[in-house]
Amino acid sequence: MRENEKDNHVPSRYLIDKTFAARQRNALFILLRDFNTSSHSSCNNTQSNYRNLFPLLKLKRPTILDMSIPGLALPGLTFSSNPSSTPSAAAQNATTSFEVPTDQPPRFIDLKPRTEYRFETSFSQAPLGITLLTSKTEGVPESATAELFGTELVPNVEYKLQGVKAAVYTWYGCQLRVQGETDSEYVAEETEMTIWSNLHGYLEGKRSPGVAGPKVLVVGPQNSGKTSLIETLVAYSLRSDRNPLVVNLDPAQGMLAPPGSFSAATFGAGRMIDVEDAGVWGPGGSMVDGPSKAVGGTALTYHFGEKDVLGQVQSRRFMGLVERLGLAIKGRMARDPDAEAGGLFVDTSAALAGSKGDDAIARIVDDFEINMIIILGSERLSTSLSQRYPQHDSSKSVKILKLPKPGGCAERDSAYMQALRASQVRSYFYNPKNSAMLSPFTQILDFSIVQIYKNATSGADESAWNPGDEDEEDTTSGKTLEKVTPSVSLQHSILAIAHATAVSSEDDVSISAVLGYVYVTEVDETRKKIRLLAPGTLGNLFGGDKGKVFLCGSWPEDVLELAR
């Protein structure tokens, strides 16, 4: 371990020996074959197959004692040492509930090996504090580790989490100090982490210098754990010294941008996942950064501005933006060997899990050159995609892997999701963690230099339109945007600043990237002025009298009283 890593408690990265890597790839090949030939097996059988397929394998690393864990070990991950006791091989669905005292003193939770502390907090509550303690519990090593969706907790550092539905997992047991109120909390002994770690091992075996890494598409219904799985796999990839690309195609939640957007970013040395961000990006929604990161730290973003990706007009624009992002990803991988080797993870909207989403999924597979589709909690989707991409056909290079819905997936009602989106928008403009970096300013623009486009509307019955129907009449002749005059209806909404000029065509504006976002605080129709709130680093975009091009939509909802 390097000295600077030791002092700062930064997890070191270790290499795995070639013999273990070969055994790992072979074992995962058997696992994938088993899944492809028994796609209709129950979730319990699936988890049982995972446990029975793999013997105890040892992960070697320098200066640390050898250790063994059930299933495949994680290449490059930093587990501390051998536990003094081995947990039962047949974990049951047992849970332990906690009675939270009304005066909220700190409480201490001892986690056994391969268990997790699940909790839910609301935005109306004070942040929940969680600290990984240097354990004094009998049978638990002092250097025990814990992780939140793959991102390790630093010992003796309190993490503040608010409006989060998440879980802290430990491989070898640990003790947590918890301070604050929760809506729900319990310890679960039946988790999906062994399955997900085995999946990481398989993907890691596909990575090598000079070879394109795995390109993974994750699909499934709402609240099935899609984003949580991707965040965990990305965190494990980072701990294995990889730089994966991540694409978010779910307008219901943003990634490094407000909701209503599609974005792509490389995660690596310049963008590590913070634990407090991880809790939000995982089950609650997505990590949102303002535009004031260092050069290379912002995401490539396109504004969609609608909740539904499969309506008649929305689907056409959705496919256009997917194509643009696919081209951008190919260009980035061609220029960046590390990103190419790290691979790609694509998160998707729950709408694609419905009967109308199969053709849209096929387009995504083509545009991003996907070679693995992971299906969470949907038998219908598994059957449909297996027929489209037969696993016995060598010409079809797309593997289908069906995984059970994680038992810890919490239901997120509409009120919670609306509060989450409002929180993400506020975070973009103010960044509560570092308000000095994001001090928004107010800018007043004249109507004459403002061009605002919104998504085109159609009188057709969008619910009856299925993407891919060639004989369906196109009632809008391909038009996806229309220009609007600023009005009071825009107040309290967010606008995307398009990377376009006043002379750009509507088609060019439709597929233009986003430079940043502004918030409409006031529209004066009499004086023909519009007042905007913008993050401080966007100030140079408002100089001069050149026309400004903005995009608006019906999503996300208006956020009241954002301006302070």
Give the distance from CA 540 to its chain's centroid: 31
Mean pLDDT of 124-131: 91
Assess contact for 305 and 551: CB atoms under 8 A.
yes
Q: With 90 as the cut, is the pLDDT of residue 132 above it?
A: yes
Of the residues 188, 218, 250, the one at which a domain ends: 188
pLDDT band at 34 (very low <50, low <70, confident <90, very high): very low
The pTM for the full model equals: 0.77
CA atoms of 12 and 17, how far apart (whole Å):
16
Residue 145 lies in a domain: yes
- Residue owning tokens 């099935």: 224
46-60, 369-383, 456-470: the lowest-pLDDT one? 46-60
Q: With 90 as the cut, is the pLDDT of residue 385 above it?
A: yes
Residue 331 lies in a domain: no
Mean pLDDT of 113-126: 92
Residue 246 lies in a domain: no
pLDDT band at 466 (very low <50, low <70, confident <90, very high): very low
Residue 400 lies in a domain: no
**pLDDT of res. 67:** 28
Most confident of 152-161, 393-402, 451-460: 152-161
Of the residues 188, 207, 240, the one at which a domain ends: 188
**pLDDT of res. 391:** 81
Q: What share of the chain is helix, strand, coil (3-state, %, to 5)?
A: 30, 25, 45
- Residue owning tokens 């970013």: 265
Which of these, 272, 252, 270, lies nearest to 262 by C-alpha position?
252
3-state SS, residue 265: strand
Domain with residue 158: its CATH number is: 2.60.120.1030
Residue 369 lies in a domain: no
Q: Is 45 annotated as a binding residue?
A: no
**pLDDT of res. 10:** 32
3-state SS, residue 527: coil
CA atoms of 162 and 372, how far apart (whole Å):
34
Assess contact for 206 and 75: CB atoms under 8 A.
no
Q: With 70 as the cut, is the pLDDT of residue 7 above it?
A: no
- Other CB atoms within 10 A of residue 26 CB: 11
202-211, 215-224, 294-303: the lowest-pLDDT one? 294-303
**pLDDT of res. 541:** 67
**pLDDT of res. 334:** 92
**pLDDT of res. 413:** 83
Residue 292 lies in a domain: no
Q: Is 151 annotated as a binding residue?
A: no
Q: With 50 as the cut, is the pLDDT of residue 61 above it?
A: no
**pLDDT of res. 262:** 94
Q: Is 165 annotated as a binding residue?
A: yes
Q: With 60 as the cut, is the pLDDT of residue 372 above it?
A: yes
Residue 543 lies in a domain: yes
Q: With 50 as the cut, is the pLDDT of residue 459 above it?
A: no
Q: What percent of the chain has pLDDT over 90?
A: 43
Domain with residue 539: its CATH number is: 2.40.30.330
Q: Is 150 annotated as a binding residue?
A: no
Domain range enclosing 506? 434-467+474-552
Of the residues 188, 210, 235, the one at which a domain ends: 188
**pLDDT of res. 71:** 33
Mean pLDDT of 87-106: 47
Q: Is 356 annotated as a binding residue?
A: no
pLDDT band at 47 (very low <50, low <70, confident <90, very high): very low
108-117, 387-396, 488-497: the lowest-pLDDT one? 387-396
Phi first, then psi, for residue 267 (nearest 5°) are: -105, 130
Q: With 80 as the cut, is the pLDDT of residue 454 above it?
A: yes
pLDDT band at 52 (very low <50, low <70, confident <90, very high): very low
Q: Is 228 annotated as a binding residue?
A: yes
Q: With 60 as the cut, is the pLDDT of residue 473 above it?
A: no
**pLDDT of res. 45:** 42
Q: Is 512 annotated as a binding residue?
A: no
Q: Is 226 annotated as a binding residue?
A: yes
Q: Where are the beta strands (DSSP E) in 380-465?
A: 399-403, 441-446, 450-455
Domains in the chain, number: 2
Residue 529 lies in a domain: yes
Mean pLDDT of 69-85: 35
**pLDDT of res. 340:** 92
Q: Which residues pair with 483 in a beta bridge?
A: 453
**pLDDT of res. 69:** 31
**pLDDT of res. 291:** 43
Most confident of 288-297, 326-335, 432-441: 326-335
Burial class (CB in 10 A: 0-12, 13-18, 19+), 515: middle
CA atoms of 363 and 365, how far apart (whole Å):
5
Q: With 50 as the cut, is the pLDDT of residue 1 above it?
A: no
